[in-house]
Amino acid sequence: MNWSVGIDVQPIDVHDEVAVRWLQACVWPDQVDRFTRLHSAINLARQSNLRIDTGDAVENIVRLVAEASAYGHPTVTTSWVMNYLSPAQRNSFVNELVRIGTTTDVSWVIAESPLETPELPVSSNEGEDITVISLVTWRNGQQVSTRLARTHPHGNWIHWEL
């Protein structure tokens, strides 16, 4: 990976102890393994030179994909992000990527719940309430969606479908 950026409306500053304590308070107290993973993730983030922009994903996706294109093939990833957007915002996000894909080769790795986010180009089985990992690619203006796996919402397990 040559370049990466994250975007969040209210990113957590991992160097701010008050913000970190708030984040830790969001973990269910009986899930010790999640505390361990969070602690590891915070330590890794503190050691890394991560770029996290403050902003709206829908409003910034065009700019960020263009910026990423200067470093290689742009790949967008979302993992339980779309669930926090309204249906109209999800449609706008998808429409922006479709528009980008008409002129730029781009990939989108999606880890979302199709039941919660029906606007996304993800195949699901009737009533399936699970996280699905999919890959949507645009090559020469053509969109292809591929379902890759089912996974636990917190990544506890994954079942590949390829």
On average, the pLDDT of the chain sits at: 94
Q: What is the CA radius of gyration of the chain?
A: 17
pLDDT of the residue at 150: 94
| Position 133 pLDDT exceeds 80 | yes
Please report, for the chain, the start and end positions of each structural domain, with discontinuous segments joined by +: 6-47, 56-160
Span 109-118, average pLDDT = 93
Helices within 26-144 (DSSP H only)? 32-47, 57-69, 87-101
Model confidence at 123: pLDDT above 90:
no
Contact 136, 144 (CB under 8 A): yes
- At residue 133, what are phi and psi to the nearest 5 degrees? -100, 125
Q: Which two tokens stand for residue 121?
A: 């180009």
pLDDT at 61: 97
Closest CA to 111 of 84, 138, 81: 81
pLDDT score, position 148: 97
Res 5: pLDDT: 95
Q: Which two tokens stand for residue 31?
A: 């899930």
pLDDT of residue 77: 97
* For residues 83-94, average pLDDT: 96
**Which pLDDT band holds residue 25 (cuts at 50, 70, 90)?**
very high
For the segment 46-56, the average pLDDT, to the nearest whole number, is 93
HSE-CB of 56 using CA atoms within 13 angstroms: 8
CA dist., res. 106 & res. 101, Å (int): 6
- Look up residue 19 and give its amino acid: A
pLDDT digits (tens, 9 = 90+) for 69-88: 999 999 999 999 999 999 99
More confident residue, 2 or 82: 82
Q: pLDDT exceeding 70 applies to what percent of the chain?
A: 100
138, 100 Cβ separation under 8 angstroms = yes
With pLDDT > 90 as the criterion, what percentage of the chain qualifies? 84
Cβ neighbors of 109 (< 8 A, separation 6 or more) are 75, 76, 77, 78, 133, 134, 135
